[in-house]
Amino acid sequence: MMDRSIMEKYALLAVKAGINLQKGQTLVVNSPIECAPFARMISEKAYREGAGDVVISWDDELFQKIRYMNAPDGIFDSFPDWKKAFYTDYARKGAAFLSIYSEDPELMKDVSPERIARASKAKNTALKEFYERIMSNRNSWSIVSFPTASWARRVFPADTPEKAYGKLSDAIVKAMRLDADDPLAAWKKHLKELADRLEFLNSHRFRYLRYHNSIGTDLTIELPEGHIWTGGSEFTEDGTEFIPNMPTEEVFTLPKRDGVNGTAVASMPLSYNGQLIKDFSIKLRDGKIVDFTAREGYEALKNLIETDEGSRYLGEVSLVPCDSPIAMSGILFLNTLFDENASCHLAIGRAYSTNLRNGTQMSRKELDEAGVNDSIVHEDFMIGTSDLDITGILESGEEIPVFRNGRFAF
């Protein structure tokens, strides 16, 4: 188990900086049962910070595997009404949502990808209103991770269980800046550095980004008029600052739905619904994924892309230098929350309306007309490499280096 004093720092950081819990606000914590000690500590810190209440929703991924392997086939096309009401009602009442993401990246490798895809689609469809609120920042939310034995075993398979857990724990401590004397101050400094990058990108208002590297990525992405680069912390409609992803090293915006052309080659495996997708690529024409390949996990990738019409398009463009602290650790975490902060990435599916000027006030029809993709899924995949070049192209045609050799060029 992580050192108790460090765990207390972590829990307080998640409550005060991650979701920035307000006095009297309800906190909903989503936690794997393996992370129960951390979830309980978060609840204690939240109450001490003035929470109106704390509610914990437990997840048991081993039971989920049993269910996928043995339950009657028909149940995977529905989602319980009480679960839909749970999340939707708390969201409408202004609750904050903190999720602990620590899944075993290969637990579901023996499960039918088709069953997982159907269950995921049923869940995302039922919780559409909830996810719309989260992705438009109407509620504060944050995602953190905590080490588990099963996750550590996948990341460090050559080590003993105890040593693997210790290594993963140490890596999380460093990535979360918990080894600093004052983690809250360290995060404040980091957010300022990200804000400086956002200022450069937003001031240039690029029309296109052109990507190229040696593993096969050759891609041109059109950015919609009024796009906004965000990253680090964000704000709810009432002005509450929060940090959606911890850790975070990215700055990101959205592509124009029909404005992406070329090939994107993944530089890391993707852990999706407990299944690994390896050595994969997608080809896009006028924004749409028209072809894809994968050495491993092809069916999982196919089910992701074929979830709905919007999952055939991209929803996010994210920039992360190859010398970010997580990248420099040299660890492949097999966890998107961490691996996305070691590499430039794109997302299949839904775009954030917060990445478009006045996007949160627009109707779905207006967002569609502006080129903002909609889907019930949003899944990041990594394409960054140490030789990735990204060139920004202005409306005038002028070209400005954004990335050179995997790093920011400004």
pLDDT in tens, 218-255: 999 999 999 999 999 999 999 999 999 999 999 999 99
Q: Whole-angstrom Cα distance, residue 86 to residue 97?
A: 12
When divided into structural domains, the chain yields a total of: 2
Kindly state whether residues 171 and 217 are assigned to the same domain: no
Name the phi and psi angles at 288, rounded to 5: -90, 140
Domain carrying residue 367: 205-240+249-408
Task: Tell me if 269 is assigned to some domain.
Answer: yes
Task: Tell me if 181 is assigned to some domain.
Answer: no
Task: Tell me if 362 is assigned to some domain.
Answer: yes
Kindly state whether residues 136 and 262 are assigned to the same domain: no
Please compute the mean of the pLDDT values over residues 36-43 and round it to a whole number.
98
Identify the pLDDT of residue 151: 97
Sheet of 26-32, strands arranged across:
53-59, 26-32, 96-100, 141-144
Rounded to two decimals, what is the model's pTM? Answer: 0.93
Q: Whole-angstrom Cα distance, residue 351 to residue 342?
A: 21
CATH number at residue 165: 3.40.1830.10
Task: Tell me if 52 is assigned to some domain.
Answer: yes
Kindly state whether residues 105 and 226 are assigned to the same domain: no
Kindly state whether residues 137 and 16 are assigned to the same domain: yes
pLDDT band at residue 110 using 50, 70 and 90 as cut-offs:
very high
Task: Tell me if 196 is assigned to some domain.
Answer: no
pLDDT band at residue 89 using 50, 70 and 90 as cut-offs:
very high
Kindly state whether residues 230 and 129 are assigned to the same domain: no
Identify the pLDDT of residue 195: 96
- Asked if residue 315 lies in contact with residue 254, where contact means CB atoms within 8 angstroms, the answer is yes
Q: Whole-angstrom Cα distance, residue 146 to residue 167?
A: 12
Kindly state whether residues 167 and 218 are assigned to the same domain: no
Structure tokens that stand for 87 in this block? 């999340």
Kindly state whether residues 29 and 79 are assigned to the same domain: yes
The alpha carbon dihedral of 12, 17, 23, 25 has a sign of negative
Last residue of a domain, one of 155, 175, 195: 175
Name the phi and psi angles at 213, rounded to 5: -150, 180
pLDDT band at residue 128 using 50, 70 and 90 as cut-offs:
very high
Q: At what angle do helices 113-126 and 128-135 cross, to 10 degrees?
A: 70
Q: Which pLDDT tens digit goes with each residue over 168-216?
A: 999 999 999 999 999 999 999 999 999 999 999 999 999 999 999 999 9
Q: Which pLDDT tens digit goes with each residue over 250-267?
A: 999 999 999 999 999 999
The alpha carbon dihedral of 309, 315, 321, 324 has a sign of negative
Kindly state whether residues 121 and 218 are assigned to the same domain: no
Identify the pLDDT of residue 1: 85
Q: Whole-angstrom Cα distance, residue 408 to residue 410?
A: 6
Task: Tell me if 381 is assigned to some domain.
Answer: yes
Identify the pLDDT of residue 364: 96
Identify the pLDDT of residue 159: 98
Please compute the mean of the pLDDT values over residues 321-339 and round it to a whole number.
95
Kindly state whether residues 231 and 354 are assigned to the same domain: yes
- Asked if residue 152 lies in contact with residue 342, where contact means CB atoms within 8 angstroms, the answer is no
Kindly state whether residues 266 and 310 are assigned to the same domain: yes
Last residue of a domain, one of 175, 192, 221: 175
Task: Tell me if 199 is assigned to some domain.
Answer: no
Kindly state whether residues 77 and 214 are assigned to the same domain: no
Kindly state whether residues 159 and 232 are assigned to the same domain: no
Last residue of a domain, one of 175, 197, 227: 175
Looking at the DSSP bridge assignments, the partners of residue 228 are: none
Task: Tell me if 283 is assigned to some domain.
Answer: yes
Say yes or no to pLDDT of 97 above 90: yes
